[in-house]
Amino acid sequence: MTQVEPKKLEGLMLGQMMQFPLLISSILDYAEKHYSDTEIISRRTEGDVHRYSYQECAKRSKQLAQSLENLGLKPSSRIGTLAWNGYRHLEIYYGVSGSGMICHTINPRLFADQIVYIINHANDEAIFFDTTFLSLVEGLAPQCPNVKHWICLIDEDQMPVSDKVSLLNYERLIKAESGQYIWPIFDENAASSLCYTSGTTGNPKGALYSHRTTLLHSYASALPNALNLSALDSIMPVVPMFHVNAWGIPYAALIVGARLVFPGAKLDGQSLYELFETEKVTMSAGVPTIWAGLINYVQTNNLKFSTFKSTVIGGSACPPAMMKTLQNMNIEVIHAWGMTEMSPLGTVARLNVKDLSKTKEQQQEVLQKQGRVLFGVDMKIVDSQGNSLPHDGVAFGDLHVKGAWIIDKYFKAEESALIDGWFPTGDVSNIDSEGNMQITDRSKDVIKSGGEWISSIDIENVVAGHPEVGMAACIAAFHPKWDERPLLVIERKPNSQLSQDQLKIDILEFLQGKVSKMWMPDDVVFVDKIPLTATGKMQKLKLRELFKDYKLPTI
């Protein structure tokens, strides 16, 4: 008989090693001791560039912890942030979690009523915010009665005044403290931070990370097979610190002693390029839409990068054309996949030893997939009955995951989110015999045409390589015979020359032979801008609503 459940053992002898809880404060302690001079550089809302060392960061984080306690905030109090990537946000990451409170990063790009919902659901007691968000805060405050302190992240002499909300100043607050503070020691399973998913339907849901899960995730993400971080790197996380803890970089960078460069609010191509060059950034991370803007700026102005060597791309599929363009600039693209519910890293596309004997094209195919799971995560694909499907690179199904830094329950949910111990990701994928996973769709974006599933991502990836296409979304349009057929929605590049009719013919020709006949879109339509979610993903739900009555020419 095959064993289905792991055996339970009793009477085991325990190891006799120290109890050393994996706490977020230990990361900062380590960085302070061993990389005290390493720099943290931030573009600030004040308009200048700020630089200091890990040592100063540690002192100010401790001052912050003292101020939080003096404000009457208690262990496990939720402390919100509405802030860009910067040194003060980093101090909040460490000062809040380190003192046993919970750092709740809020995405300011969400609709105001979603933010109100999130703040009240989390029961935030204090909110730190960048001045950019002052008017947002003035609107939120009357609707968030549990927030006792609104703390503005700005130099004292530039402190704004508000006749609507009573504000505290961050610098004034921490200046009053000595920084003589010893981080408390507590259970590593205590909650450390909270991040809500930017769900397109229903209310956002909170993923509540612990110190232990955050540390394990940081170790794993720094490894060579993952993000390959080291003390020789200058890392610029463009991915916001309000989006799944900037993919864990604010923790992993300190574990390896890397220099950190924070871009602040300016994320356009020119601002990013200038910072890459002036601060000699070697490594970065962000969603494809960010790189599209940067590449466009670099190409239009005939520029080159002098130090930028590698970047992580994730959050949505990295279009192969974008990967090629960056590779041609000698920038390695590390394609990664994950979710808010996974802290976020699950897989990273990396060559394995077997791949070394493959052709360049075959290697490129491996790198374009979403990749292999990290140690600490397991994955499987299942059919609609929950049966496991083979890992042959062909069969595709719902992707389920489990592991050391993956959600069990959403914050305040009664029930576990798991199915038989696995978390259903909502993504559809295949896994090949060498363990490389490839996402074909979000399950709600799959186009179901006459019993066949068409991968919208595969089609978008090809079309994104057309020289006149800025962004491409492939969505399901109603068809009386096939139920659904693919409709291509195109946002053109700003310098696109062809007429719409010509471009439509050109795109369909461009697709010929690159996808099967059955997958060829029935029509191509143009929009000024493809709507994006608060985390920079294409908002296909909105597009489907927009084109819900669209009559395909094939009907």
* Radius of gyration of the CA atoms of the chain, in A: 24
Residue 475 identity = I
Q: Residue with structure tokens 């009357």? A: 142
Residues 250-269 that bind ligand AMP (CB under 6 A): none
Q: Is 59 one of the binding residues for ligand AMP (CB under 6 A)?
A: no
Contact 530, 489 (CB under 8 A): yes
Q: Taking CB under 6 A as the rule, does residue 45 contact ligand AMP?
A: no
User: Does the active-site annotation cover 448?
Assistant: yes
What is the C-alpha separation between 92 and 80, in angstroms, rounded?
9
Compute φ and ψ for 314, nearest 5 degrees.
-165, -170
Give CA separation, 327 vs 198, 294, 333, 435, in Å: 31, 14, 7, 24
Catalytic residue from among 38, 197, 289, 340:
197
When asked if residue 398 is in the footprint of ligand AMP (CB under 6 A), the reply is: no
Nearest CB to ligand AMP, comparing residues 45 and 198: 198
Q: Which of 425, 449, 455, 456 binds ligand AMP (CB under 6 A)?
A: 425
Return the amino acid letter for 242: F
> Could you tell me whether strands 423-431 and 396-403 are parallel, antiparallel, or unpaired per DSSP bridges?
antiparallel
By CB under 6 A, residue 535 contacts ligand AMP: yes
- Regarding 227 and contact with ligand AMP (CB under 6 A), the answer is no
> Does residue 536 belong to the site contacting ligand AMP (CB under 6 A)?
no
Out of 33, 280, 444, 448, pick the active-site residue. Answer: 448
Residue 344 or 486 with smaller CB distance to ligand AMP? 344
Pick the binder of ligand AMP from 339, 437, 462, 490 (CB under 6 A).
339
456 in contact with ligand AMP (CB under 6 A): no
- Torsion region of 364: left, alpha or beta (phi above 0 gives left; psi -120 to 50 gives alpha): alpha
Enumerate residues 6+ apart whose C-beta is below 8 A from 157: none
In the chain, what is the greatest distance between 2 CA atoms, to the nearest angstrom? 76
Contact with ligand AMP (CB under 6 A): which of 198, 218, 430, 440?
A: 198
Q: Are 456 and 441 in contact (CB under 8 A)?
A: yes
DSSP state at residue 306: S
The answer to whether residue 150 forms part of the interface with ligand AMP (CB under 6 A) is no
429 near ligand AMP, judged by CB under 6 A: no
Q: Is 197 a catalytic residue?
A: yes
Q: From the list 42, 316, 430, 456, which residue makes contact with ligand AMP (rule: CB under 6 A)?
A: 316
Based on the shown chain and the rule CB under 6 A, indicate whether residue 396 belongs to the binding site for ligand AMP: no
Whole-number Å distance between alpha carbons of 514 and 321: 14
- The sheet with strand 423-431 has its strands ordered as 377-382, 396-403, 423-431, 437-442
Q: Which amino acid is at 249?
A: I
Q: Of 251, 262, 337, 547, which one interacts with ligand AMP (CB under 6 A)?
A: 337
User: Out of 32, 125, 341, 491, which one is annotated catalytic?
Assistant: 341
Is the separation of the CB atoms in 129 and 159 below 8 Å? no
Q: Which is nearer to ligand AMP, 101 or 290 (CB)?
A: 290
Pick one of 107, 340, 430, 436: the residue that binds ligand AMP (CB under 6 A).
Answer: 340
Distance CA 179, CA 65 (A): 8
If 0-12 CB within 10 Å is exposed, 13-18 middle and 19+ buried, where does residue 147 land? Answer: buried
d(CA 127, CA 144): 11
484 is a site residue for ligand AMP (CB under 6 A): no
Q: Is 422 a catalytic residue?
A: no
Q: List the one residue from 95, 100, 314, 376 that touches ligand AMP (CB under 6 A).
A: 314
Residue 251, helix vs strand vs coil: helix
**Which residue is catalytic, options 148, 309, 409, 453?**
453
Does position 197 bind ligand AMP by CB under 6 A? yes
Q: Between 426 and 531, whose beta carbon lies closer to ligand AMP?
A: 426
What does residue 187 show for φ and ψ, rounded to 5 degrees?
-60, 130
Among 442, 466, 504, 540, binds ligand AMP (CB under 6 A): 442
The reply to whether 107 sits near ligand AMP by the rule CB under 6 A is: no
Residue 341 is a catalytic residue: yes
* By the rule CB under 6 A, 334 interacts with ligand AMP: no
127 contributes a contact to ligand AMP by CB under 6 A: no
Just list the catalytic residues: 197, 341, 448, 453
List interacting residues with ligand AMP (CB under 6 A). 197-198, 244, 314-317, 335-337, 339-340, 344, 370, 425-427, 439, 442, 535
